[in-house]
């Protein structure tokens, strides 16, 4: 018995140690390094000679607090998150509910087609959407022209650049949450739904009192992942608009990239990363607390 337990313990360690090492090497160490780097003025001169590296304490954070570009990026990120998260989750949930209906045929085909954008290369899909949104030859403006609406410079006008980019992000991202909700809906008791229907509950009442509590944990998972992803939006604005026009689509992560790899202010970029990390951690804690209050966790 003792020998068997010892063998199981060795097997457990053999599986656990690589994971712990990977977590330490690729998560804990970079996080601590980023925190320490944010307290310095690490820049291109320090890259050439570490003797130029100086400890500035909270200097980078204070500089960010007085930088209008940073606050502009924060505001843009909040717009992306505030509109994008409900839109992505709403579209995913509605699509999953439609595909869960018994009247819909070819369900595997629909799921495959709707999930395809999520796994398609971002650059390729962005190029397609740039063509769709093009001012002169875009399909969207051609469709609007049929009903007499003048062409819109979707990606070149600061007023329309965020909505146009958001449409692309939601279209590309909603497939993942759709699969999460589809799996959660499969666990909802058919007997319970039928019993509610026989009791006279309408579609809205059945969704609120039967379906929603059952898929609550999946909804929490989707909201946590979506908020974290939208707060870290970078690649889509970078490919679609390069943060423009007039920095109208510059997000926090784009600002961090610009500071770190355009101006080589790596200390400032690290401070931005730390602020974003703390923000995501805090929002996730609030989401978890709300989920426990609703008994979804």
Say whether 56 sits in a helix, a strand or coil: coil
What pLDDT, on a 0 to 100 scale, did the predictor assign at position 2? 65
- 245 upstream amide cis, omega within 30 of 0: yes
In angstroms, what is the C-alpha Rg of the chain? 24
**Tokens 């019993």 appear where?**
195
Each residue's pLDDT expressed in tens, for the chain with a length of 297 residues: 566 778 888 888 888 999 999 999 999 999 999 999 999 998 888 888 888 888 998 999 999 999 999 999 999 999 999 999 999 999 999 999 999 888 888 888 999 999 999 999 988 898 899 889 988 888 899 999 998 888 899 999 999 999 999 999 999 988 999 999 999 999 888 888 888 888 888 888 888 888 888 899 999 999 999 999 999 999 999 988 888 888 899 999 999 999 999 999 999 999 999 999 999 999 999 999 998 888 776
pLDDT (0 to 100) of residue 275:
96
Torsion of CA 24, 25, 27, 32, to 10 degrees: 90
Residue 196 confidence (pLDDT): 86
pLDDT given at position 136? 86
pLDDT for the residue 289: 92
Query: Which has the closest alpha carbon to 169: 232, 100, 109, 214?
Result: 232
Which conformational region is residue 57 in: left (phi greater than 0), alpha (psi within -120 to 50 degrees), or beta? left
pLDDT at 169: 93
What's the pLDDT at 1? 55
pTM for this prediction: 0.88
pLDDT of residue 229: 94
């Amino acid at each position: 018995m003792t020998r068997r337990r010892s063998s199981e313990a060795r097997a457990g360690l053999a599986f656990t140690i690589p994971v712990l090492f990977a977590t330490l090497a690729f998560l804990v160490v970079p996080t601590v390094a980023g925190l320490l780097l944010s307290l310095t003025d690490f820049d291109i001169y320090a890259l050439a000679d570490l003797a130029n590296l100086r400890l500035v304490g909270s200097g980078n954070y204070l500089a960010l607090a007085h930088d209008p570009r940073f606050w502009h990026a924060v505001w843009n990120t909040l717009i992306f998150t505030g509109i994008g998260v409900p839109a992505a989750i709403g579209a995913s949930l509605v699509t999953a509910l439609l595909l869960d209906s018994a009247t819909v045929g070819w369900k595997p085909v629909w799921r495959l087609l709707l999930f395809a954008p999520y796994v398609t290369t971002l650059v390729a899909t962005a190029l397609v959407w740039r063509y769709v949104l093009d001012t002169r030859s875009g399909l969207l403006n051609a469709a609007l022209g049929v009903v007499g609406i003048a062409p819109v410079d979707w990606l070149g006008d600061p007023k329309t650049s965020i909505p146009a980019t958001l449409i692309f992000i939601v279209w590309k991202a909603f497939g993942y949450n759709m699969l999460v909700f589809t799996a959660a809906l499969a666990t909802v008791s058919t007997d319970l739904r039928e019993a509610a229907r026989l009791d006279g509950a309408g579609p809205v009442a059945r969704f609120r009192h039967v379906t929603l509590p059952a898929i609550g944990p999946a909804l929490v998972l989707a909201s946590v992942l979506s908020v974290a992803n939208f707060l870290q939006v970078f690649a889509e604005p970078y490919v679609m608009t390069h943060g423009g026009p007039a920095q109208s689509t510059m997000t926090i992560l784009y600002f961090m990239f610009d500071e770190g790899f355009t101006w080589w202010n790596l200390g400032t970029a690290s401070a931005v990363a730390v602020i974003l990390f703390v923000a995501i951690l805090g929002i996730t804690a609030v989401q978890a607390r709300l989920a426990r209050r609703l008994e979804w966790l």
